[in-house]
Amino acid sequence: MNLPTYPKSRDPHGEDPHGEDPRHAEAVRLAVRSVEVAAALARVLPAGAILAGREQTQPYECDGLTAFRVLPMIVVLPENEAQLAAALRTCHRLGVPVVARGAGTGLSGGALPHRAGVTVSLAKFNKILKVDPLSCTAVVQCGVRNLAISEAAAPFGLYYAPDPSSQIACTIGGNVAENSGGVHCLKYGLTLHNVMRVRGLTAAGEPVEFGSEALDVPGLDLLAIVIGSEGMLAVTTEVTVKLVPRPELARCMLASFATVEDAGEAVANVIAKGIVPAGLELMDRRMTEVAENFVHAGYDLSAAAILLCESDGTPEEVEEEIAAMSRVLTASGATRIEVSRDEAQRLKFWSGRKNAFPASGGISPDYMCMDSTIPRRKLAQMLLAIEGMEVKYGLRCVNVFHAGDGNLHPLILFDASDPDQFRRCELFGAEILEESLRFGGTITGEHGVGVEKLNSMCVQFSPAERDRFLAVKRAFDAQELLNPGKVIPTLQRCAEYGKMHVHRGMMPFPELPRF
Amino acid sequence: MSAMPREIARLVDRMRAARARHAPLQIVGGGTKAFYGEAPRGEPLCLRDLAGITSYEPSELVVTVRAGTPLAELENALAAKGQCLPFEPPRFASGGTVGGMVAAGIAGPSRAAVGALRDYVLGLTLLDGRGELLRFGGQVMKNVAGYDISRLIAGSWGVLGIICEVSLKVLAAPADTATLEFEWGEQRALQELARWRAQPLPLRASAWCDGGLRIRLAGSRAAVLEARTRLGGTAVDRQAAFAFWQSVRDHRHEFFALAADELEQGTALWRLSVPPTAEPCSLSGRQFIEWGGAQRWWRTGAPAAELRAAGVGAGGHATLVRAADKSAGAFAPVGGELMRIHRALKDAFDPERILNPGRLYADL
């Protein structure tokens, strides 16, 4: 995977770097604490399961968002639920923050360590416990990779539908934490729609089960809130996922458009016709060029934007849907339409889209990937707004969208060795998020808030709403030990961010109805 | 902040006044589900004035509706654009509202194929028990900003807050449907349903009762036609099939009708929610199976303890839906740590226990 690098590591929990003495005192306190906590953990875990010291903990200092790096105080690698429970109980008793970690592929810093905390690597929870073709479910441990589930289900003609682009590496536990999507979630749903049951442990080490292998549970639907909670409510250990029959056939169409407005309109028209394509992706001209140069997928370089539309199902269904989509796309002004002849060509069409990120890494030293969602009908307006921002911040941006569900991944290109470019890039990103809110959207569609979008949470939610998030957190974890400091910004942080953004005593976006 | 609609302002005043007086409120929409769950108590707070479709963008597949809007009005508006609520919420009587639908979180015959009601909730505005208006989620398909509180509210029976407005994902109504019938006993029906589940079939709903299995296919014309040929069975006339599925959805099918004297004599309607592959239960009474085996209704006079044990034994739970005596509890109890979390969530949203107290569990 080609991940961006950044000029300097930043520790959101860190002290003021200019005051030398407090930092030294803090380092001493940390070292003492580390010895105390390691000794307590050593009483409940096997010797090899505890890592301490920079050489051992450095591999855990960041996740896929490498701009943020923090050395964890201690890393533990429990082998089973009993060991995990013992580690959690120990940390709970000592008041030590705990950050659970899967494969570390997250893009918002959700698995960023806490400098005075324990990072729990769940890498050893890697067994597929059951694949049941009769109930169409699989029971897997949290550290099982997303793609490994589909591979295990393949002999039964089944698969696990959500396919985040990191699916070769990311784990189901991480998918539960982030409510991950993928290019096929328009038709098949997100993690939320495909997970039936989550077993885990609370911060206090108590076993809990959310959801069920039945289709509902008595009482409140806690599963709905645990999925996407970014590891702040419980540590997932085991997951029951829904499996779906693999479609007999899939075909992909490439449609070219002379303007991005036409392409955006075409997306809305396809959906309005009642068609739910298996995938519906949009790439702007620059992204198309970059991807084409990288993998030679056969994209039309003369188009202002291209759409990839996938249809799957029985051969009869696919034929009917491809014909219907062709009619809509042509009526929406498509200048060229090409339908994949066979599976090899279909995969070739997708290869450009799937390599959008690495391809961008090839034309720029660094890039920052945004993740907001907007109503589909605003796609073209958003692209035009981003063009304006490119001029304003003096940086280029290539655009690839999960257009079918309005989820944007603009990639802002910059050079991290130039601190001013990094600063402009951050401002550019924040403006995309706030523009998305103005269009009636949200700051994150599938990558999560983590530490990356804490400031934008101040804009999207009122103080009372943020207070309820915190209250939910405390309902599960009264001492706020699980992944503290993520997702919910402090009042102070929002006050400071507000000072930069609020003018003349107005709320951000006074035109947005609060109801 | 833009001006708050008058109906909302009144609701906020009412909520705050009730809180000041420590006077419980029962949230009322159309009153069509008053029989379901534990008995409502407190002063009625009627939401029917808070009505109307706020926005509807068919090409976005999103509709935003105020809580007091009659469900029928919403379904008509969607049907006019060829769209629907795929989860088929039951209409136990006429007059049900959208807010009540979301608060109860109940889905109809298509549940196993299309997902739960909460899967279609994109966002909502909530007036919580602390008298504050809160907005969670939004109007877009993918949204992971903050915890997914709007989906926690779905099916919470009003114990955390008053739903004021909700945004729902909608889908195109299926292009074609067909209903097939098979003369099979329970065991055979469950086996065949399990076999079909693992195949790419447009299977939308199933209903087994008294030795007959009916399935509904829904999807593109090509898919429905191909599945009909592949599955065999006897085709059910289109109009009769439509009426049948409506009667299952709305509990107007004779199986679900319990006369007053039957209730008096101790017959009750139970709902067992179990993994679809659960073995047949040996209970006395009559059974109606939906959701590919995952929802099993029982008309029975058997003791509550027996039903609850059957639910747990099968890996699920049992709900006492209609009965003269609900002293056994309408909903299956929730275990220790989970119940602690339930109470803590109630404390977070409605610390004084003003909203729908006891509607879900005695201490919520």
pLDDT in tens, A70-90: 999 999 999 999 999 999 999
Please give the Cα distance from A449 to A371 (Å, whole number): 10
Instruction: Give the residue with greater pLDDT, B2 vs A101.
Output: A101
Instruction: Give the residue with greater pLDDT, A505 vs B281.
Output: B281
Backbone angles phi, psi at A137, to 5 degrees: -140, 160
Burial tier of A40 (Cβ tally within 10 Å: 0-12, 13-18, 19+): middle
Q: What is the pLDDT of residues A228-255, one digit of tens each?
A: 999 999 999 999 999 999 999 999 999 9
The residue in chain B having the minimum alpha-carbon distance to the alpha carbon of residue A240 is B275
In chain A, count H helices and then E strands. Answer: 18, 18
Helix, strand or coil for residue B249? helix
B8 touches chain A (CB under 8 A): yes
Is residue A397 very low, low, confident or very high in pLDDT (cuts 50, 70, 90)?
A: very high
B279 touches chain A (CB under 8 A): no
CB B310 within 8 A of CB B272: yes
Count of Cβ atoms closer than 10 Å to residue A39 Cβ:
10
User: Hey, are the CB atoms on B144 and A406 less than 8 Å from each other?
Assistant: no
First to last CA, chain B: 33
pLDDT at residue A290 in the model: 94
Helix/strand/coil (H, E, C) string of A203-215? CCCCEEEEECCCC
pLDDT at residue A21 in the model: 73
> What distance in Å separates residue B360's CA from the closest CA in chain A?
7
Task: Take residue A282 and report the two structure tokens written for it.
Answer: 């949009």
User: Hey, are the CB atoms on B173 and A274 less than 8 Å from each other?
Assistant: yes
Name which of A18-27, A460-469, B309-318 the model is least confident about: A18-27
Please give the Cα distance from A295 to A359 (Å, whole number): 8
Give the sheet arrangement for strand A396-402, strand by strand. Answer: A336-339, A249-257, A305-313, A279-284, A396-402, A407-414, A366-369
Please give the Cα distance from B223 to B177 (Å, whole number): 10
CB B148 within 8 A of CB B121: no
Task: Select from A470, A478, A441, A310 the least CA-distant residue to B341.
Answer: A478
Please give the Cα distance from A322 to A344 (Å, whole number): 18
Q: Which residues contact B123 (CB under 8 A, 6 or more apart)?
A: B135, B136, B137, B138, B139, B143, B150, B166, B167
Count of Cβ atoms closer than 10 Å to residue A338 Cβ:
16
CB A272 within 8 A of CB A173: no
CB B133 within 8 A of CB A514: yes
Is residue B99 very low, low, confident or very high in pLDDT (cuts 50, 70, 90)?
A: very high
pLDDT at residue A503 in the model: 40
B303 Cα distance to chain centroid: 25
Q: What is the pLDDT of residues B345-363, one digit of tens each?
A: 999 999 999 999 999 999 9
pLDDT at residue A153 in the model: 98
**DSSP assigned state of A1:** -
Task: Classify strands B25-28 and B43-46 as parallel, antiparallel or unpaired.
Answer: parallel
pLDDT at residue A165 in the model: 84
Mean local confidence (pLDDT), A402-423: 93
- Write the single-letter amino acid at A219: G
pLDDT at residue B205 in the model: 98
B142 touches chain A (CB under 8 A): yes
Please give the Cα distance from A146 to A170 (Å, whole number): 6
Picking from A202, A276, A442, the nearest residue to B138 by CB comes out as: A442
pLDDT at residue A354 in the model: 85
Task: Classify strands A118-121 and A98-101 as parallel, antiparallel or unpaired.
Answer: parallel
A107 Cα distance to chain centroid: 6
Q: Which residues contact A502 (CB under 8 A, 6 or more apart)?
A: A508
- Write the single-letter amino acid at A483: N
Please determine, for residue A2, whether its predicted confidence score (pLDDT) is greater than 70: no
Q: What is the pLDDT of residues B210-227, one digit of tens each?
A: 999 999 999 989 899 999
Task: Take residue A95 and report the two structure tokens written for it.
Answer: 């008041």
Please determine, for residue A3, whether its predicted confidence score (pLDDT) is greater than 50: no
CB A267 within 8 A of CB A280: yes
B348 touches chain A (CB under 8 A): yes
- Tell me the CA distances in angstroms from B320 to B38, B255, B274, B332, one per residue in order: 10, 16, 15, 8
Please determine, for residue A507, whether its predicted confidence score (pLDDT) is greater than 80: no
pLDDT at residue A511 in the model: 46
CB contacts, 8 Å: B142 with chain A: 181, 185, 190, 373, 402, 405-407, 442, 445-446
> What distance in Å separates residue A437's CA from the closest CA in chain B?
10
B214 touches chain A (CB under 8 A): no
pLDDT at residue A225 in the model: 98
CB contacts, 8 Å: A442 with chain B: 138, 140, 142-145
Overall size of chain A counted in residues: 515
Task: Select from B133, B56, B71 the least CA-distant residue to B102.
Answer: B71
pLDDT at residue B1 in the model: 39
Burial string for A77-110 (b: 16+ CB within 10 Å, else e) reads: bbeebebbbbbbbbbbeeebbbbbbbbbbbbbbb
Please give the Cα distance from B14 to B131 (Å, whole number): 9
Picking from B1, B160, B220, the nearest residue to A317 by CB comes out as: B220
Residue listed under structure tokens 């570390």: A104
pLDDT at residue A287 in the model: 95
Percent composition of chain A: helix, strand, coil (DSSP 3-state, to 5)? 40, 20, 40
| C-alpha torsion A350→A351→A354→A360, nearest 10 | -130
Which DSSP helix (H) or strand (E) runs through B75?
helix B71-80
B362 touches chain A (CB under 8 A): no
pLDDT at residue A15 in the model: 47
Task: Select from B172, B276, B252 the least CA-distant residue to B218.
Answer: B172
* B contact residues 154-213, partner A, Cβ 8 Å cutoff: 154-156, 160, 164-165, 171-173, 175, 194-195, 197-201
Mean local confidence (pLDDT), A180-193: 92
pLDDT at residue B335 in the model: 87
Is residue A1 very low, low, confident or very high in pLDDT (cuts 50, 70, 90)?
A: very low
pLDDT at residue A298 in the model: 93
First to last CA, chain A: 42
Q: Which residues contact A239 (CB under 8 A, 6 or more apart)?
A: A139, A140, A141, A142, A172, A173, A176, A195, A197, A198, A199
User: Hey, are the CB atoms on B152 and A220 less than 8 Å from each other?
Assistant: yes
Task: Take residue B255 and report the two structure tokens written for it.
Answer: 């199986």
Please determine, for residue A19, whether its predicted confidence score (pLDDT) is greater than 60: no
Please determine, for residue B154, whether its predicted confidence score (pLDDT) is greater than 60: yes
What are B234's strand-pairing partners?
B181
Please determine, for residue A7, whether its predicted confidence score (pLDDT) is greater than 60: no
CB B28 within 8 A of CB B45: yes
CB B136 within 8 A of CB B124: yes
Count of Cβ atoms closer than 10 Å to residue B306 Cβ:
15
User: Hey, are the CB atoms on B125 and A272 less than 8 Å from each other?
Assistant: no
Mean local confidence (pLDDT), A160-179: 95
Using alpha carbons only, what angle is made at residue A178 by residues A177 and A183, rounded to the nearest 5 degrees?
Answer: 140
Mean local confidence (pLDDT), A418-428: 93
Picking from B1, B223, B332, the nearest residue to A313 by CB comes out as: B223
Q: What is the pLDDT of residues A334-393, one digit of tens each?
A: 999 999 999 999 999 999 998 888 899 889 998 999 999 999 989 999 999 999 999 999
Picking from A213, A271, A276, the nearest residue to B275 by CB comes out as: A213
Q: Look up the ipTM and state it.
A: 0.97
B328 touches chain A (CB under 8 A): no
Is residue A208 very low, low, confident or very high in pLDDT (cuts 50, 70, 90)?
A: very high
Mean local confidence (pLDDT), B48-53: 96
The residue in chain A having the minimum alpha-carbon distance to the alpha carbon of residue B192 is A134
Using alpha carbons only, what angle is made at residue A379 by residues A375 and A385, rounded to the nearest 5 degrees?
Answer: 115
Mean local confidence (pLDDT), B175-181: 97
Task: Select from B154, B150, B155, B152 the least CA-distant residue to B138.
Answer: B150
- Write the single-letter amino acid at A109: G
Task: Take residue B285 and report the two structure tokens written for it.
Answer: 């009474």
User: Hey, are the CB atoms on A316 and B118 less than 8 Å from each other?
Assistant: no
User: Hey, are the CB atoms on A224 and B118 less than 8 Å from each other?
Assistant: yes
Please give the Cα distance from B326 to B283 (Å, whole number): 19
Mean local confidence (pLDDT), A20-35: 88
A384 Cα distance to chain centroid: 25
User: Hey, are the CB atoms on A515 and B8 less than 8 Å from each other?
Assistant: yes
Please give the Cα distance from B254 to B109 (Å, whole number): 16
Picking from A218, A442, A511, the nearest residue to B332 by CB comes out as: A218
Q: What percent of chain A has pLDDT over 70?
A: 93
Task: Take residue A128 and report the two structure tokens written for it.
Answer: 């597929």
pLDDT at residue B41 in the model: 94
